[in-house]
Chains A and B, each alone.
Chain A
Amino acid sequence: MAYTLAYSLGFTGIATHEWLGIGLGVVLLVHLTLHWDWVIRTTRKLLRRGGRERFVWLVNLLLLVSMTLCIASGILISEVALPELGITLRASSFWRQMHDTTATLTLILVPIHAALDWRWIVGVARRFAAWRPGRSR
């Protein structure tokens, strides 16, 4: 959802777009950290696993590369966030092109990534909805 918002530059404006993008970078790192066990487990068993598992792994890898490059290029061409922090970089057309391409690719890959794990997402959402503070189970 945050990516959907960040992609809609016309709606958010450049400042929100940039800060949201930087926030997404932090979220990406935490998400990757929390699922690192899955990354290792699936990568090790990649040759033995079936087609679906391989496809999910490939989508996730593509999404990681695309989103990382999108955020990195976004930081390099930043017009508001970085100058606000006192950092000014002269952006090249290469990074602008890279930002546009990877943003579109990420837009395609994010819903695929979420839809491939929709059962897990629904399960977590159900548990979260049923959770009450102070109740262990």
Chain B
Amino acid sequence: MDRGRGSPFRRLASGAVTVKFLRHLAAAVLVVAIIVGLGMLWAHASGGTGVGSGPRRAPSPEALLRLKQIKENIKTGVIRVRSDNGFDLADTGNLIRTCEIEAILAVVVITVSVIWRRRRRMRRTAARA
């Protein structure tokens, strides 16, 4: 008994869409893998792979001193460390700042795009007239 929904042509079309999607997904995964591979090569070339086991350089005296200062600051409460239990609603300033940066950039691009489009339209109208 045929329990499939729709005409055979429709089912065939749906199958073709699935195959197309999978083909495109494979291509997208390949592109992403190439980018990650190039990043790995870059890390390897700069000698900073650091993933897995390998010899580690001993920290410099300055870094150790800075670490000691940070630890003291945490103890005295100069640096506040919060437990990570999800969203910190007290730090919405952080989110608002990110939103502001994104909104400003988007507004600038949209304004430029609208001006550019208007100018092009005016040029076309002038050429026709």
Mark A residues whose CB is within 8 Å of B. Answer: 4-5, 7-16, 28-29, 32-34, 36-37, 52, 64-65, 68-69, 72-73, 76, 80, 89-95, 98, 107-108, 110-112, 114-116, 118
- Scan residues 72-129 of chain B and give those whose CB is less than 8 A from a CB of chain A: 82, 84-89, 91-95, 97-99, 101-103, 105-110, 113, 116
Contacts of A72 in B (CB 8 A): 35-36, 39
- Scan residues 26-42 of chain B and give those whose CB is less than 8 A from a CB of chain A: 27-29, 31-32, 35-36, 39
Q: Is the CB of B50 within 8 A of A93?
A: yes
- SS class, residues of chain A in contact with chain B: helix
Contacts of B110 in A (CB 8 A): 115, 118
Q: Tell me, in angstroms, the Cα distance from A108 to B109 when the chains sit together.
A: 11
Contacts of A114 in B (CB 8 A): 106
Contacts of A73 in B (CB 8 A): 39
Task: From B48, B94, B108, give the contact of A10 (CB < 8 A).
Answer: B94
What are 23 inter-chain pairs, A to B, with CB distance below 8 A?
A: A8-B97, A11-B91, A12-B86, A12-B87, A14-B84, A29-B32, A36-B28, A65-B35, A69-B36, A72-B36, A72-B39, A90-B53, A92-B48, A94-B46, A95-B50, A107-B101, A107-B102, A108-B101, A111-B105, A112-B109, A115-B107, A115-B109, A116-B113
